[in-house]
Amino acid sequence: MENKNEFKPYIPAEKITPEITVTSIIMGIILAVVFGAANAYLGLRVGMTVSASIPAAVISMGVIRILMRKNSILESNIVQTIGSAGESLAAGAIFTLPALFIWAAEGHADAAPNLIEITLIALIGGLLGVLFMVPLRNALIVKEHGILPYPEGTACAEVLLAGEQGGANASTVFAGMGFAALFKFIIDGLKAVSGEISFRVKGYAGEIGTQIYPAVMSVGYICGPRISSYMFSGGVLSWLVLIPLIVLFGGETILAPGTATIGEIFAESGASGIWGTYIRYIGAGALTAGGIISLIKSLPLIVKTFSGAIKSLKGNKTGIQTRTTTDLNMAVVIGGIAVLTLLIWLLPAIPVNFIGALIIVVFGFFFATVSSRMVGLVGSSNNPVSGMAIATLLVATLILKVTGYSGIAGMCSAIAIGSIICIVSAIAGDTSQDLKTGYLLGSTPKKQQIGELIGVAASALAIGGTLYLLNEAWGFGTPELGAPQATLMKLIVEGVMGGNLPWALVFTGVFIAIVVELIGIPVLPFAIGVYLPVQLNACIMVGGVIRWLVEKLSSKKEKKDEIVNDGVLFCSGMIAGEGIVGIILAVLAIFGIDKMLNLSEILGIPQVVADLGGLGLFAVIILILLKFTIWKKRKDA
């Protein structure tokens, strides 16, 4: 292992090359907004987001190196640094903020967030996430080089270093965007084919099926067969075990307050009615337990990380400053944190009091430290951001209730606190990955940190509009946009404040999660599978199976890595393409134009024909993914 003190980056410290330029800022902002909106849509549908760093790096390399004929790897790195901030900020926002929209839809008009509130919460959370990470860079990125791998950050550096392949890789991403945009428009725009197909057996209350959306399948490919199978297993347990048992033994029973009997719900809405009324509480219990279990398992690492960071801050003598060791001025960082804390407390648009502002600062720095180290070990995709948000919400809601800040105002304040903490954690993890990429390439840390701040600002301005569009078009907590994490956060806050949850169902989910953890299965993906519709989990599983086939059919390791990477790039493009069309369709739905495009009503397409067309289109999507992976023509090395 190379000594960290002898590490030499790709671009040496004494060499000056373009980094923050007009081109890199404009491209970065565009990618931040695009990937932020796409990931917001994806996360609200499936409860997961995907890293935007690598596709952003590929696109920036393709445009700057191939189209503009510029040989500037550090400029491309700034593009992906700014661009990836949008995805992380979107992930933090969608896990919590939709709860406010759901409360407003349930009759609490005061809970409805305005555009200024969403923008300020997203902006302040993002800025704090970047600023909290600045003093940690030396401890986590430099001193722990060779110890903390930072998988996405290292992979992103490899993509940028493979400059001669930039054009081919960028075309793969754009191809994925184009195909997915077309398929999404056919399914949800023209409604020419079914977007979801279900199968039932007479006399049995269970149900199985699949969605046929390219972005959902892409999540399975990117996550791989193991994570996909855990999610699918959770869906199978819910839809083929728990729902039939509830219907079989329920009959005239009422389990959740204010609902009809189990028999009446099943007769009217089938298995999906039982899922929406009962299974989601079981899934919420499993998700809560999974988040807390993940946090408990991480406690030794959390304590070690936090104590190491404090020691590093006390004795952080940087010595001679060079281009590659220069961070943002510490006075600017501390002053910025102080000003943002005061703004959280004083701005009337943010429903947080002084105690809430203190909670945000303490938990924010703590979880920023934890998040930055966790992504260094296990990657951004496995960062337990939702677990941190759950822990924050439990503590914050209890403190607010004890201090007399209760009711809908107290619940909105708790969600605002949880939102900022969630965004802080997500952005801190993203910033640390980007700084690792920059450390390997020889970027200037200060310029990357400025790039992160630019990306956060651009994304914060866009995320409010995105959430409003999606809510106006379909609404959160609906079949189109389930918003699983946000619904879970809402249930937790309501449960702590009012004590009105069907606790029998919640604790059933808790103990299912404990059993799953005891037998050695990662509990969070399984719990997400319990919570989400089985049709969505099945589509993810298809993507995981394709990834498994691609890996099995590739013999040589070097070739297998290249083929798998092509699939990841193509699927990243499909996620972005479907997300963009999803936002466009939301705009059309608001103005009523979507009804003019609905071929299923205009032509009167029978359901059987629509289902067969959906299966045919799904087969085409799978074949195209295979074409860009194992069937792709490659030059021999």
Please write the tens of the pLDDT for every residue from 437-457.
Answer: 999 899 999 999 999 999 999
Please report the pLDDT score of residue 326 as a whole number: 87
Per the CB < 8 A criterion, the answer to whether 57 and 159 are in contact is yes
Least confident of 129-138, 144-153, 195-204, 217-226: 144-153
Which residues, including other chains, have CB under 8 Å from residue 457's CB and lie 6 or more apart? Answer: 123, 126, 127
Q: Does 384 have pLDDT greater than 80?
A: no
Q: Does 1 have pLDDT greater than 50?
A: no
Please report the pLDDT score of residue 210 as a whole number: 94
**Helix locations, 442-478, DSSP H:** 445-473
Using DSSP's 3-state secondary structure scheme, residue 200 falls into strand
Q: In the chain, pLDDT over 70 holds for what percent of residues?
A: 88
63 phi, psi to nearest 5 deg: -75, -50
> 412: alpha, beta or left, given left = phi > 0 and alpha = psi -120 to 50?
alpha
Please report the pLDDT score of residue 257 as a whole number: 56
- Using CA atoms, how far apart are residues 468 and 461, in angstroms rounded to an integer? 12
**For all residues of the chain together, what is the average pLDDT?**
84
Please report the pLDDT score of residue 275 as a whole number: 85
Question: Whole-prediction pTM value?
Answer: 0.74
Please report the pLDDT score of residue 536 as a whole number: 87
- Using CA atoms, how far apart are residues 59 and 79, in angstroms rounded to an integer? 9
The token pair at 486 is 């946000």
Q: Which of 550, 546, 436, 410 is nearest to 141 (CA)?
A: 436
Please report the pLDDT score of residue 309 as a whole number: 56
- Using CA atoms, how far apart are residues 185 and 178, in angstroms rounded to an integer? 11
Please write the tens of the pLDDT for every residue from 419-443.
Answer: 999 999 899 989 998 999 999 899 9
Please report the pLDDT score of residue 636 as a whole number: 47
Please write the tens of the pLDDT for every residue from 139-171.
Answer: 778 877 877 778 778 777 877 776 544 456 778
Q: How many residues does the chain have?
A: 637
Which residues, including other chains, have CB under 8 Å from residue 31's CB and lie 6 or more apart? Answer: 52, 56, 59, 60, 79, 80, 82, 83, 86
Tell me which of 6 and 237 has the higher pLDDT: 237
Q: Does 42 have pLDDT greater than 80?
A: no
Q: Which of 342, 376, 348, 380 is nearest to 360 (CA)?
A: 342
pLDDT band at 256 (very low <50, low <70, confident <90, very high): low
Tell me which of 555 and 217 has the higher pLDDT: 217
